[in-house]
Amino acid sequence: MTAVESAACVTGTGSNAVFTAPASGTDLPIQYLIRYERDVVSGAMLTNTTKDLPGLVKLTLFCSYGDPCSNDLKPCYVVIPRFAADPSMTISLDAETQEVDFSGNLNVDYCAGTQALYYIYYPEEDLVVSGTAVS
């Protein structure tokens, strides 16, 4: 601090506190951010908690794939070890289509060795043949 500059100081306490700003020694404006907390009698407060949100789940999706020129389908499984589902979901029960739209976030398990977001398994056996599931 030079001789021209002075330090900021607060004198007094509570509602009698006085803040004295330091002099910069220049003609440039100085900006201050003063943060304080106080008790209030009335008002509104919004709080967002994770208490009501669904937790992480292991999501396994059964899928099928195949050559578009043939009717043979082969199975595969998509496994998401840590999936956080979005609580909003739509189900369409139209006469022609039945769809379920859902979304969510894939989470990394930082304690796992691979830290994989998902796995895709292609089993050797054909569980789906010509569009019909084989049991």
CA dihedral 33, 34, 35, 37 (to 10 degrees): -160
Condensed to tens digits (0 to 9), the pLDDT of residues 40-85 reads: 888 877 776 767 666 788 888 888 888 788 878 888 889 988 888 8
Neighbouring C-beta atoms of residue 117, cutoff 10 Å? 14
Helix (H, G, I), strand (E, B) or coil at 57: strand
- The pTM of this model reads 0.48
